[in-house]
Chain A
């Protein structure tokens, strides 16, 4: 029974964080600051997301985060060179997956 309450608590917390902006007072929604936020917050959020998604990398034992580093360099390089997001994701991921699953086994 407690399980259902735990899941519901998770649903409620998620709904609140996702919908919070809709419940802001009208004045706040139309403010200039919210406009600045909607312009610059996305790019800053991706900075946060990169750190968030890579933070569990273990750099204290082999392979010391080298596959991640190489993968990232490939992604950044392809993105700067070809400006094609799907291509950058695919090339970086394939090289990373080959490194950790085949080459470094």
Chain B
């Protein structure tokens, strides 16, 4: 348990602080802690929730909200596919594990080699529910007492950049993952340069096409 807590420590710092910021933002826009806690409990998607605040304020059309959030969260399709075979072995837990699979939980679960995990179901579940709790707790506190504090630490989001980069580097050190990793990064960078903020869908299509190519090449290698 202590080890699991330690693994989730970077996420704890980020979720408590970004959750706090989210709760405060909700509260300042007239949505009290129940709204903030319920959104964090049931939506549980940081970027989407921040977007939802402005949509709430604008009283947007729920149908367009649905499609917008679908686009913002599209990258989660990748995590589901990536974790699918591992989660398949967890039985009923897989529903919650999939539902709670945020960028950061996906990151933590991939920061440890699969073989080093003694009891995978327990490990996946604890990491997911701990991260979920940090996020709900942060949002609730932010909405309740956010107004009281005046200290500002800038740049805590960088912990996430560091988390993703460290995991990425640890993965591409494995020989067969170097090419897919570098290509994934390059495809995303190029998509961003050409399409700006809307790059994610383009990058995802590019990455899937690249995977089709990899899959085909592997077949050829096997054939030879």
Number of A-B contacts (CB under 8 A): 264
Question: Taking the nearest CB of chain B, how far is it from the CB of A51, in angstroms?
Answer: 4
Which residues in A have their C-beta under 8 angstroms from that of B170? 79, 83, 85
User: In the complex the two chains form, what is the Cα distance from A71 to B19 in whole Å?
Assistant: 23
Question: Taking the nearest CB of chain B, how far is it from the CB of A20, in angstroms?
Answer: 6
Interface residues on chain A, number (Cβ under 8 Å): 65
* Complex interface residues of chain B between 183 and 198 (CB less than 8 A to chain A): 183-189, 192, 197
Q: Assuming the A-B contacts A44-B183, A51-B189, are A38 and B81 also in contact, with contact meaning beta carbons closer than 8 angstroms in the complex?
A: yes
Contact B65 A17 (CB under 8 A): no
B75, B164, B187, B200 pick with most chain A CB within 10 angstroms:
B164
Contact B167 A85 (CB under 8 A): yes
Main secondary structure, interface of A, reads: helix
Interface residues on chain B, number (Cβ under 8 Å): 96
User: In the complex the two chains form, what is the Cα distance from A83 to B154 in whole Å?
Assistant: 28
* Complex interface residues of chain B between 159 and 192 (CB less than 8 A to chain A): 159-173, 177, 180-189, 192
User: In the complex the two chains form, what is the Cα distance from A3 to B36 in whole Å?
Assistant: 12
Question: Taking the nearest CB of chain B, how far is it from the CB of A59, in angstroms?
Answer: 12
Which residues in B have their C-beta under 8 angstroms from that of A7? 35, 38-39, 42-43, 52, 56
Q: Which residue numbers of B lie inside 8 Å of A, CB to CB?
A: 6-7, 9-10, 31, 35, 38-39, 42-45, 48-49, 52, 55-56, 59-60, 62-63, 65-70, 73-85, 94-95, 98-101, 103, 106-107, 110-111, 153-173, 177, 180-189, 192, 197, 199-200, 203-204, 207, 210-212, 214-215, 218
Instruction: Rank and list the top 8 A-B pairs by shortest CB-CB distance, nearest first.
Output: A44-B184, A47-B184, A47-B185, A13-B69, A21-B80, A51-B188, A88-B166, A43-B181
